[in-house]
Amino acid sequence: MEKSIFSRIMDKEIPARFEYEDDRVIVIHDIAPKAKVHLLIIPRKPIPTLMDAKEEDLPLIAHIHKVAQHLAEKLKLDGFRLVNNCGKSAGQEVFHIHYHFMAGFQE
């Protein structure tokens, strides 16, 4: 199976602008932002879609939400949008789960 672009970023094969990382996730800036703040929260574990997540992955999914909370505090945001596209028909382009963290739609 070919590595996803996100796995290649984690392996430092492709450069990216990192905002945060820990032992379970990385957070990078989206290369085609749709909002003033547009980050991608990506788990290090390569799960193709949210439908492929197992019971054992639930702590990781919860951690992603805690990272979103941390990012909002760090960036001094009073709100944000967290989006996961699940499957091709929902607009998922990279089949390695990731969440779009977006903010700054209105000033």
Q: Which residues pair with 20 in a beta bridge?
A: 27
Instruction: Check the CA dihedral 16-20-25-30 and report its sign.
Output: negative
Q: Which residues contact 36 (CB under 8 A, 6 or more apart)?
A: 103, 104, 105
Cβ atoms of residues 41 and 97 within 8 Å: no
> Which structure tokens are listed for 99?
């969440």
H or E element in which residue 32 lies = none
- Active-site residue (options: 29, 38, 65, 98): 98
Active site residue 98: yes
> Which residues does the annotation mark as catalytic?
98
